[in-house]
Amino acid sequence: MFNQAFAQGFFFPRLFFPRVIHNHPMQFRPILTSIAITGCLALAPLSSSHALTSTPDKTASDDLMLEMNQAFKKGNSKRLTALLPQVRGHTLEPWAAYWELRARLDTAAPEEVQHFFARYPGTYQEDRLRNDWLLLLGQRRYWTDFAAELSRFRMNDDREVRCYSLALDPLPDNPELPSEFKRQWYEQKEADDACAYAAAHLYEAKRLTDADIWRKARLAMEANRPKLAKVAATIISPAAAAPIDELSNQPARFLTRRIVAFRQVAKEEVVLALIRLASSDPDKAAGSLEKYWALYLSQEQRSWVWGVIGKQAAQHPAGHAYDYFEKTRDADLDNDHLGWKVRAALRQGDWKMVLGATQAMSGEARQDSTWVYWQARALKQLGKSDADRNAATQLFDSIAGVRGFYEQLALEELGRRISVPASPAPLTALEKESARLNAGLNRGLYAIQIGLRGEGVREWNYHANLHNRGGLSERDLLAAADLACQRQVWDRCISTSERTRSLIDFEQRFPMPHKDALLQRAAQIGIDPAFVYGLIRQESRFVMDAQSGVGAAGLMQVMPATARWTARKIGLTDFKPQQINDRDTNIAIGTGYLKLVLDNFDGSLPLAAAAYNAGPSRSRSWRGASGAAPLEASIWAENIPFAETRDYVKKVLANTTSYAALISAQPQSLRSRLGLIGPKDARAGEADPDLP
């Protein structure tokens, strides 16, 4: 449950491995005998006797692994080196060896690193360390070693590594190189050595233009990263970057002081200042642009700024986003601006604007099911010829299915409903045994089950993702998902099953743990069990001890304050905060709160899901001003200003429809669950105005 989390400005933290790289000169030193012995142990494949057959009882060596993990997080390399010999032969030994070497990687000899690679071949830890090593080699500009190691990097998913690879000397004679680099660079939100170095290198070689650099500065300013904008502008010259501190700190004052002598100010400085001003006051930025700067800026610059202003105004239902987007030219906007232009046009029912904006997106963006669906809807709405109607049908057909929100809506546009697809042939004993004996999958499960969830998830994902590198078939993925299901590691079960495209095991993708307890509770309080399951699947993936960074806990991710309030409301006496991770207590409070939310929003599933995620007050405010016309709930959901909540609502509703198909064994309609959403009748009052 995210309502309190949003109120405090927090989100669930992404699980990541710290990869702080220190800029010390490379040191070559003899490898200590103790390190050679303890840090480079042979990794024997797990035999059937080592494969997990049940949740392991925690052992003393497991406790040592947990202690090493804590020492790694604290950067205590001496403690790691001391503990490493004591976990020889442990299932998770590759993690222990990784932590020990990673903690001192900036002073490690290259021979030690190569020895680690040789002793743990094919493991996640080998490739994880290679990623870290590549970043260090790139930072130190050891390009020969970098190029040699890059060819062995299997994940190949680190943007910084990719940036370094694109800046190797001599630059490849590839006309696509600048475009490829810009795709990497423009997506980065934080400054880093790799992409800054590559950008400067490509700019010096005249493979990037001033316009390319300023585009990066604009994107950085729009993302509230003025320091990153300054780093980008510095590539052109220190003088170009000099005004950025002033215009980012006081954009309105900066613009006012430049009005009297605007011909002496660089146009891109004005663009950046207007972008910065729009983030806090889009209407004020619009007034300044229209009154003072519209004739001074180029059409492309004006259009971009109007796009930013429109995007910011679209975050508020009563904003003037549509009017601002009418002043833009689609060709001058990026995909993000165009997406918000589509949303503003949908609110106004301007299907011509919807069609133009979706067609102007990049090829990659146009393949996203969101924009495929809305482009098809626009063609259907506007189409006056058989060709237009056929084009709409083809677009719907290209995404129609049971996989997600827009896929299900597209299926209904074609006159079909959401049904449980035919199950693939049952897994054979050999397929199950192959998954059971997979060393990497076993390490992932073992780590999760002794309390190293982050490490276990990364290791599991790495080996499950071999499918993308030709290592696992779809049958292998189903077998791996089955293994996780049997161990009741439901999040890995679901995520792995979702990787298959042609083979869909619906019961595996939408498992129903705690079925008796949930169905009984749902019937008791009069709530659709499919909605409860759909929400839990999105909240916690059925991880019993799931804990958010701000304290939301358990299956239904209930915040402590909300739990206490709900316990009083539903008559749960003697509730203690420590009970929140108890399964039945969590279900009782979570479903009780969800029922109160549903009643507060007149049974609207989209409004209730948004309220559960972002808080009832926000969900109420997003309904629109009094007198506004009701919207299709799909249009309303797409206009939710928080990306987190927008994605959440769509996934919960699609999950709900899938679970309903499973529970009822009957075809279902997502559209019927959506309905219309508009302002609440002021005369009706609130069911519970104190709802947290």
Neighbours of 672 (CB within 10 A): 10
Taking the C-alpha atoms of residue 52 and residue 61, their distance in angstroms, rounded to an integer, is 16
Cα distance between residue 293 and residue 343, in whole Å: 27
Give the Å distances, CA to CA, from 541 to 30, 222, 245, 489.
48, 33, 44, 9
- Both tokens assigned to 428: 């054979």
Other C-beta atoms within 10 Å of 519: how many? 15
307 phi, psi to nearest 5 deg: -65, -40
Burial per residue of 559-587, b for 16 or more beta-carbon CB atoms within 10 angstroms, e otherwise: beebbbbbbebbebeebeeebbbeeebbb
Other Cβ atoms closer than 10 A to 135: 22
Three-state secondary structure call for residue 631: strand
C-alpha to C-alpha distance for 181 and 159, rounded to whole angstroms: 10
Largest pairwise CA distance in the chain: 81
Q: Which residues pair with 632 in a beta bridge?
A: 676
Separation between Cα atoms, residue 97 and residue 109, nearest integer Å: 15
Tokens of 208: 């990037």
- Known catalytic membership, residue 539: yes
The rounded distance, in Å, linking the Cα atoms of 227 and 248 is 9
AA identity, residue 574: D
Alpha helices (H) along 47-192: 60-73, 77-83, 93-102, 110-119, 124-139, 143-150, 159-166, 177-187
Q: How far is CA 328 from CA 177, 310, 350, 551, 683, in A?
A: 29, 9, 15, 43, 40
| Distance separating alpha carbons of residues 253 and 247, to the nearest angstrom | 8
Helix (H, G, I), strand (E, B) or coil at 675: coil
Contact 589, 577 (CB under 8 A): no
How far is it, in rounded angstroms, from Cα 476 to Cα 467?
8
Of 532, 461, 452, 518, the residue nearest 494 (C-alpha): 461
Instruction: Match 């420590």 to its residue by tokens.
Output: 578
Cα 645 to Cα 189: distance, rounded to the nearest angstrom: 21
Distances (CA, A) of 486 to 52, 100, 436, 513: 11, 33, 10, 11
**Alpha carbons 517 and 584: distance in angstroms, whole number:** 7
* Residue 138 β-bridge partners: none
For residues 491 and 542, the answer to whether their CB atoms sit within 8 Å is: yes
Q: Distance between CA atoms of 235 and 71, rounded to whole angstroms? A: 40
Q: Which two structure tokens, joined as six digits, stand for 682? A: 């002021």
CB 508 within 8 A of CB 493: yes
HSE, side-chain direction, 13 A CA sphere, residue 631: 24
Separation CA 271–CA 155 (nearest Å) = 38
CA 22, 26, 32, 37 dihedral sign is: positive
Q: For residue 45, what is the DSSP state?
A: P
Q: What is the CA radius of gyration of the chain?
A: 28
Structure tokens at 224: 């509230």
Question: Which one of the listed residues 112, 407, 455, 539 is annotated catalytic?
Answer: 539
- Residues annotated as catalytic are 539
